[in-house]
Amino acid sequence: MNETPLLRAERLGKVYPDGQVNALVEVTLSIRCGEYVALMGASGSGKSTLLNLLGALDRPTSGEVYFDNRPLSQIDDPDGFRSKKIGFVFQSFFLLPTLTALENVQIPMFEGSLGARQRAAKAADLLDLVGMKDRAGHRPGHLSVGQRQRVAVARALANDPVLLLADEPTGNLDSHSAAAVLDLFDHLHRDKGMTIVLVTHGQEVAERAERIVRLRDGRICADERRLAQAARQAAATS
Amino acid sequence: MRFHQFILKNVFQRKARSALTMLGVGIAVMAVVALVGIADGFERSFRELYERRGVDLLVVRAGSSEHLSSSVPQQVGKQIGKLPGVRAVSPGLMDVVSFEQANLTSVLLQGWTADSFLFDNLTILDGRRLRADDDAGVMLGTILARNLGKHAGEKLEIANGSFEIVGIYESFNPLENGSAVMLISSLQILMDRPNQVTGFQVVLDDAPDKRASIERVRHDINALRSPQGRPWGIAATPTRDYVRGTSQIRMAEAMAWMTSIIALIIGIVGVLNTMIMSVFERTREIGILRAIGWRKSRVVRLILYESLLLSVVGAVAGIGSAVLLTYALTWWPMVNGLIRGDVAPAVMIQGFFIALAVGLLGGAYPAYRGAHLLPTEALRHE
């Protein structure tokens, strides 16, 4: 694994003005390139807030996030940065209901330089990657929740991001669909070397990651590095 | 998928709301194009009356922008006719009468001399042309004859006078087709305006520099004096300037624009309402687009293009409706030739660009609001 930190959060704080809620307090965290990290905690522990700050979706009240040693606060075009570097997967999928799966996957590519045909071809490849090629022409309303989440993963990969951020990606899925999505994450991490940060409050989901960071009341209370799944499986069979 | 396909899907998959907005814009554009088109057509008809006959100058009472109230002694015509460069002069007296039984309230009645060159452009469809001894004779334009249900040889009561319809004519001009012509002497008696005319239509000789010729004759006419050496108080004006300055046309244009502005405000509010509701409904969707990396500028373009698309479709429907409406109005008896059946292409283009402005103005604030939504807040929106 590459030891260079891809993401570094330093003394990160976030206060929401409505109600003066301290969502994050002095959080310092470093995530290496190619690492698979699960952020765990109860509701209101600050894990989604931390994910939003790491993904440049929100700005911290204090502290700084560094991406490749570059402070996010000094990036001129955070939207363009997000588009190129980060893929997002949400608990509620957030697919556009009027578009087909193939079209949904193409939406992030509008900010890139690909032509219409190239976008469609790439979207088809990505749907193939997530096992959804045969459902490319279906709208989200005609897909199962598990299938929708796989389309959402394909959309997150549209611009070849180096970082995949997933907020409770299995929260709305049955166990079978959840396993399929997590298998997909394993594949992206193991075979594509993708850095993944995943928010969950499920222990079973978190155990798929090689590192579990636990939050409580906006602070990191535990940071547990684990063996990679492949190593765990090897250890179990030996 | 291309960006414009995404926009088309957004607009056409919200059928009811999009249709209502297009309808709102369409009605606003129809009002603008029809009203401005009618006012413009009125001006064109009026100008055509003179230009098609080669009239270079119109002479009326100085300072009179109200065509009908102008009053000039008829004898001035002889002086004008003797000026160098003047080929022909035709005195004209105009008044407006009503035919209550036919529900016609503003029928133009014109008085010409029997030898006037103004008759040359009329095609006699029934009966004959007025002669110098037709003191109780009148000619009707085709539209007026149709609206009155009259034919040549029949009697017609005009302002308590009884006249014989000697002929039915067709002019190149709808305004003239909705009017009646009698001898100027008859009209002077009927309206109790002895020896008075509304003005003179003056045709000049061909000249290499027509503009200079017009200017010279104009100066000469304005300088004419009565036998007592007093100025006549008349003003000669080039045809185009005269028509533009006519109070009825200015009023018609002002009314058209005032009504149009109200229609436009309604259109803008309609688009604004639709787009702001659309942005509100799609807060989460916009949040997703922003979260996955769409720049603010692309969100602005998305909303503005949707707004423009609604306006353009509305404009096309509105312009088409205005053309049909204007044509249909010419068949309404009360209109009686006051409205041309055609709308000038320039007015249609104007209507189209106004619709684009409606789309831009109506979409601007929603676009700004949509683009400045914070992704995290937008994603939390229920």
Question: Each residue of B77-120: pLDDT tens digit?
Answer: 999 999 999 999 999 999 999 998 888 888 999 999 999 999 99
B294 and A CB contact within 8 Å: yes
**Exposure on the CB side of residue A203, measured as CA atoms within 13 A:** 0
In this structure, what DSSP letter does residue B225 have?
A: B
Nearest to A29 by CA among A54, A1, A8: A8
Is residue B309 one of the residues assigned to a domain?
A: yes
Domain membership of residue B56 (yes or no) is no
Judging contacts by C-beta atoms under 8 Å, the chain A residues touching residue B285 are: 96
> Based on the domain organization, do B88 and B226 belong to the same domain?
yes
Contacts with A, B 245-284, CB within 8 Å: 284
Same domain, B79 and B225: yes
SS3 B25: helix
Task: Calculate the average pLDDT of chain A.
Answer: 90
CB A160 within 8 A of CB A125: no
> Which residue on chain B is closest to A52 by alpha carbon?
B376
Which pLDDT does position A121 carry in this prediction?
96
Instruction: Give the ranges where A64-174 is alpha helix by DSSP (H).
Output: 78-85, 101-106, 116-129, 145-156
Give this prediction's pTM: 0.76
For CA atoms A124, A125, A127, A132, the dihedral sign is positive
Determine the length of chain A: 238
Neighbours of B125 (CB within 10 A): 15
A contacts of B291 (beta carbons < 8 Å): 57, 82, 88, 94
Q: Give the ipTM.
A: 0.86
Residue B272: which residues within 8 A CB-CB, separation 6 or more?
B361, B362, B363, B365, B366
Of B199, B232, B265, the position where a domain reaches its end is: B232
Q: Would B320 be classed as within a structural domain?
A: yes
Check whether residue B182 and residue B213 sit in a common domain.
yes
Q: Which chain A residues have any C-beta within 8 angstroms of a chain B C-beta?
A: 52, 57-58, 77, 79-80, 82-84, 86-88, 90, 94, 96, 98-99, 102-103, 106-108, 110-111, 116, 119-120, 155-156, 158-159
Eight-class DSSP state of B56:
-
Cα distance between residue A50 and residue A31, in whole Å: 13
Matching residue, tokens 């006051």? B338
CA atoms within 13 A on the CB side of B240: 2
Name the least confident of A30-39, A105-114, B59-68: B59-68
pLDDT at position A225 is 85
Residues of chain B neighbouring A107 (CB-CB closer than 8 A): 6, 289, 292, 294
Residues 313-332 of B with CB under 8 A from A: none
Q: Which of B171, B201, B232 is the last residue of a domain?
A: B232
**Dihedral over alpha carbons A177, A180, A186, A192 (to 10 degrees):** -120
Same domain, yes or no: B118 and B226: yes
Q: Which two tokens stand for residue A224?
A: 């547990």
pLDDT recorded at residue B95 = 92
Written as six digits, the tokens of B47 are 């100008």
Residue with tokens 């399929």, as numbered in its chain: A180
Kindly report the nearest CA distance between residue B309 and chain A, in angstroms: 18
Give yes or no: residues B253 and B167 share one domain.
no
Beta strands in chain B (DSSP E): 57-61, 72-73, 86-99, 104-112, 123-127, 137-141, 155-158, 161-170, 180-183, 196-197, 199-204, 234-238
Domains held by chain B: number: 2
In a domain, B237, yes or no: no
| Among A94, A103, A155, beta carbon nearest to B1 | A103
Same domain, B215 and B144: yes
The answer to whether the Cβ–Cβ distance between B1 and A119 falls below 8 Å is yes
Q: Do A99 and B296 touch (CB under 8 A)?
A: no
Same domain, B155 and B198: yes
B6–A58: do the CB atoms touch at under 8 Å? no
The residues, ordered by sequence, that sit 6+ positions from B234 with a Cβ below 8 Å of its Cβ are: B59, B60, B61, B62, B72, B76, B221, B222, B224
Sign of CA dihedral B100, B106, B112, B116: negative
Interatomic CA distance for residues B160 and B214, integer angstroms: 41
How far apart CA B38 and CA B90 sit, in angstroms, is: 29
With CA atoms as reference, the chain B residue closest to A85 would be: B293
Amino acid residing at B144: L
Mean pLDDT of B327-341: 77
- B312 in the same domain as B203: no
Partners of residue A86 in chain B, C-beta under 8 Å: 293
Give yes or no for a contact between B337 and B144, defined as CB atoms under 8 angstroms apart.
Answer: yes
Q: Look at A120 and B1 and tell me if their CB atoms are within 8 Å.
A: yes
| Model confidence pLDDT, tens digit, residues A146-196 | 999 999 999 999 999 999 999 999 988 898 999 999 999 999 999 989 999
pLDDT over threshold 70, residue B302: yes
Contact by Cβ (8 Å): B84, B207 = no
Three-point CA angle B104, B110, B116, nearest 5°: 150
Determine the Cα–Cα distance for residues B232 and B79; give it in Å rounded to an integer: 11
Q: Is residue B55 part of a domain?
A: no
Better-predicted residue by pLDDT, B364 or A155: A155
Please give the helix or strand (H or E) that residue B272 lies within, else none: helix B247-281
Which of A57, A110, A139 to substitute to test the interface with B, most B CBs within 10 Å? A110
Q: Which amino acid is at B268?
A: I
Query: Quick check: B293 and A120 CB within 8 A?
Result: no
Of residues B277 and B134, more confidence is placed in B134
Phi, psi (deg, nearest 5) at residue B166: -85, -25
Residues B205 and B281 in one domain: no
> B132 and B164 in one domain?
yes
What letter represents residue A211's amino acid? R
Residue B70: name the closest of B245, B229, B207 by CA. B245
Give the residue, B277 or B345, on which the prediction is more confident. Answer: B345
Determine the structural domain holding residue B161 and report its residue range. 63-232
Q: Rounded to a whole number, what is the distance in Å from the CA of B280 to chain A's nearest CA?
A: 15
Kindly state whether residue B213 falls inside one of the protein's structural domains: yes
Chain B residues with CB inside 8 Å of A83's CB? Answer: 292-295
Please tell me if residue B291 touches chain A, with a CB cutoff of 8 Å. Answer: yes
Q: What is the pLDDT of residue B171?
A: 93
Kindly report the number of other CB atoms within 10 A of residue B368's CB atom: 15
Chain A residue nearest residue B282, CA to CA: A96
What are the counts of helices (DSSP H) followed by strands (DSSP E) for chain B? 13, 12
- Cβ contact (<8 Å) for B6 and A99? yes
Work out how many CB contacts closer than 8 A connect A with B. 68
Does the structure show a pLDDT above 60 at A236? no
Per the CB < 8 Å rule, is B293 touching A77?
no
| Residue B209: inside a domain | yes
Q: Give me A79's structure tokens.
A: 């939207």
Asked which of B232, B262, B291 is the last residue of a domain, the reply is B232
Query: Would the CB atoms of B375 and A107 count as touching at under 8 Å?
Result: no
Predicted local confidence at residue B333, as pLDDT: 72
Question: What are chain A's domains?
Answer: 5-237 (3.40.50.300)
Examine the pLDDT at A126 and tell me if it is beyond 60: yes
Q: What is the DSSP string of B67-132?
A: GGG--EETTHHHHHHHSTTEEEEEEEEEEEEEEGGGTEEEEEEEEE-TT-GGGGGPEEEEE----T
Residues B208 and B312 both lie in one domain: no
What pLDDT was estimated at residue B258? Answer: 84
Q: Are residues B26 and B73 in the same domain?
A: no
Q: Supply the pLDDT for residue A209.
A: 94
Inform me whether the pLDDT recorded for B48 exceeds 80. yes
pLDDT band of residue B341 (cuts 50, 70, 90) is: confident
Once rounded to an integer, what is the mean pLDDT over residues B119-141? 95
Give CA–CA dist B7/A44, Å, rounded: 38
pLDDT of res. B331: 80
> pLDDT value at position B17?
82
B51 lies in some domain: no
pLDDT digits 0-9 by tens, B207-265: 888 889 999 999 999 999 998 889 898 999 998 888 877 777 777 778 878 887 887 78
